[in-house]
Amino acid sequence: MPRAVSAPPDEKTLAELVSTAFKQAKLSGAAEVSPVRATHDAQWGDWVFCIKSSNADRTQQYAVLIKNNTILEVRSLVFIDGCDKEKYRPIEIIDQRDMLGEANVDLSAQSRRRQD
């Protein structure tokens, strides 16, 4: 039976989780994600979603198990994950380096304004 304790991730958090999982799985190309669904008793965490690359030559699928919006495991799919039966959609992943660069620019601009 499916179970869920914590709330599922919202779209922004999902994009962040997909970004992290995509890097851990060492995938290239555009990210694609399945719907988030409750885990089964035999799985870790509260929620699971699957990821894959849009690259036709890289059809490997990975299950991402999460709890409290934290990744517990990124693994090649196993039967119980059901990744091979999922419908995938593109998702824009967030490059955390870009986020840090934007934060540094914003902080620098704020510092200059304070000095003026």
Pairing of strands 2-3, 70-76: unpaired
- pLDDT tens for residues 60-94? 899 999 999 999 999 998 888 999 999 999 998 87
At 103 the pLDDT is 41
Which residue type sits at 100? Answer: L
75: helix, strand or coil: strand
Could you give the percent of the chain with pLDDT greater than 70? Answer: 74
Which residue range is the domain that position 17 belongs to? 2-115
The pLDDT assigned to 113 comes to: 38
Give the number of domains in the chain: 1
Q: Which two tokens stand for residue 27?
A: 């995938």
Q: What is the pLDDT of residue 42?
A: 80
User: Which residues touch 13 (CB under 8 Å, ≥6 apart)?
Assistant: 69
pLDDT over 80 at 51, yes or no? yes
- Under the banding of pLDDT at 50, 70 and 90, the label for residue 105 is very low
